[in-house]
Structure 1
């Protein structure tokens, strides 16, 4: 009896102390990272000057940010269904909390950690495999659109090769590798149930099959639905960049702008980095690509910084607030 009482007290202590402690740590880290970014003061001045004339576009940017993460929450809700039913609101909290953790824990593990906190204890490790499927669906959209954009640039004699720093030979070799990778990931995505069953014969995998069992329950309808939601998110990203180019007076043909955005996302996807360091990578890639299409370097950098703030930092701050409500110990899952 005394042992159960102590266990209960221990759980209560963790539930009501760890959440606020995580919030303080995340908030302090986010604040420090924002202060360290070089172009923020200049961008903030430009934003303040633009508010009076472009406040409707800025409001639209905020609404698109909400749409973006709501789509991601819906995607996670669909994927996590074989493990546990969650509401769209819980999915929204989980996604933003995961974003907070993901700022400092690389390779997506931070996002998975933040999301699993909103599931029952027995279901948390099971959620990792299905969450990876969400990342894979977004990667597939990025690869396909990025390759299509590269072909567009080549056919229209835009010097996109120069932006990569590669010779013509290595650039084309990279394209072939990306095409093969895209085909492989498509096969893996749509045949994930078969691949899971195949690997289950390996002794180590067989012992831990319970953590990947949910992957065998995805049918084509669900996989196409998740892929469509990923495409919608991608479209939102493109619209956000076009709006920011309008606000910061970055002028270029619309099709070149869309293709440039797709190539930028492609290059960022294949360059390993942690999200909090992504601003530097995005800034460099943006200047290399859009610098060939527009002379407004300040506008290009300001666009990159603003989208980084509104799509990553602001949602991460909101996610850190959601962490305050997290209860580490919940009912046991199956």
Structure 2
């Protein structure tokens, strides 16, 4: 009787969980997009950008969406090279499925659960730890760029018109820059010496059951970590280029130098603040208005750029990932074939 019940649960999870998750994700995305207060004011601007004289910039941003997630899939594949072979297509499917799960969870933690569905049952726990390393590498690049942007802002190297009250925050700004620099350097040291951290964690009581996951990280060579960091840097450059194109497309600014460092500050703030991806657009909009308001009075353009980047890089990939989830079998009796 117990075996029959267990088999029925497996059948349900394999054949019905995917469609249920798909319907839930679609409904959640629809409600969040519909209820965004800034979306209505920028919808007309976004539609006009698709057919205006600068339309090629918007379509380039859409094309770069595939480059963005393609780079992420390569990074994920590189991390798994010595652990489990997979094709680039399968890695891309896993990444998109991760976006679908991540979009409704705090700080996109659901991303790990979505990706591991494309791996055999016996290797999913180890994959979670590798996925965390991939996210850590992206955070490292975000911290490095954001900290540099903060120092440039503090030193007055950026062509911005800060509020008159800015002078009273100079000391706090310096403290923040020093704090961010210290944290970034420490994070970089931990990343490049991750095996040391693993060995320290292994000495703690009660972590024996995580042995397989920790061994995978412990065996990662520095060369792999540097390659992953390089792919993260390329992906970050794509992010920047997309955002700069959108700011130009909506007539916010043509000063790419200043815009790129303000974007880096925005990204590091978003990385630090706990948030849910679907609700993130509101925070993005407010933060963008504050930062880009120093170089432009075009508030509609600023909001349109922030909303467009959110739609292109998160909502559209999440919809694609939701469709892919419908075909996933949670439990398998054999290693899935590469497709």
Task: Tell me, yes or no, whether TM beats 0.5.
Answer: yes
Per the alignment, residue 81 of structure 1 pairs with 81
Superposed displacement of residue 160, structure 1? 8.1
Per the alignment, residue 195 of structure 2 pairs with 193
Contact preservation (8 Å) 1:142, 1:265: yes
For residues 51 and 199 of structure 1, the distance between their equivalents in structure 2, rounded to whole angstroms, comes to 51
Moved more, 229-238 or 103-112: 103-112
For residues 50 and 164 of structure 2, the distance between their equivalents in structure 1, rounded to whole angstroms, comes to 32
Contact preservation (8 Å) 2:97, 2:325: yes
Superposed displacement of residue 325, structure 1? 0.7
Deviation digits for residues 111-154 of structure 1, max 9, x if unmatched?
01111111111111221111111111111111111111222223
RMSD over aligned Cα atoms:
2.2
For residues 251 and 34 of structure 2, the distance between their equivalents in structure 1, rounded to whole angstroms, comes to 26
Structure 1 segments unaligned to the other structure (5+ residues): none
Superposed displacement of residue 80, structure 1? 2.6
Contact preservation (8 Å) 1:149, 1:262: yes
Q: Equivalent of 2:217, from 215, 218, 231?
A: 215
Alignment of 1:23-34 (within 5 A): 23-34=22-33
Contact preservation (8 Å) 2:288, 2:303: yes
Contact preservation (8 Å) 1:250, 1:299: yes
Gap change, CA 1:42 and 1:147, over 3 Å in 2: same
Gap change, CA 1:160 and 1:124, over 3 Å in 2: farther
Per the alignment, residue 290 of structure 1 pairs with 292
Contact preservation (8 Å) 1:144, 1:182: yes
Contact preservation (8 Å) 1:93, 1:319: yes
Contact preservation (8 Å) 2:108, 2:277: no
For residues 59 and 96 of structure 2, the distance between their equivalents in structure 1, rounded to whole angstroms, comes to 20
For residues 43 and 262 of structure 1, the distance between their equivalents in structure 2, rounded to whole angstroms, comes to 23
Contact preservation (8 Å) 2:130, 2:216: yes
Q: TM-score if structure 2 supplies the norm length?
A: 0.91
For residues 162 and 210 of structure 2, the distance between their equivalents in structure 1, rounded to whole angstroms, comes to 45
Per the alignment, residue 71 of structure 1 pairs with 71
Contact preservation (8 Å) 1:150, 1:160: no
Contact preservation (8 Å) 1:94, 1:114: yes
Contact preservation (8 Å) 1:19, 1:325: yes
Per the alignment, residue 227 of structure 1 pairs with 229
For residues 9 and 33 of structure 1, the distance between their equivalents in structure 2, rounded to whole angstroms, comes to 34
For residues 215 and 95 of structure 2, the distance between their equivalents in structure 1, rounded to whole angstroms, comes to 22
For residues 278 and 272 of structure 2, the distance between their equivalents in structure 1, rounded to whole angstroms, comes to 16
For residues 160 and 275 of structure 1, the distance between their equivalents in structure 2, rounded to whole angstroms, comes to 30
Q: TM-score if structure 1 supplies the norm length?
A: 0.93
Superposed displacement of residue 207, structure 1? 3.7
Superposed displacement of residue 109, structure 1? 2.1
Deviation digits for residues 189-243 of structure 1, max 9, x if unmatched?
1111121122212221234211221001111111111001000111001111111
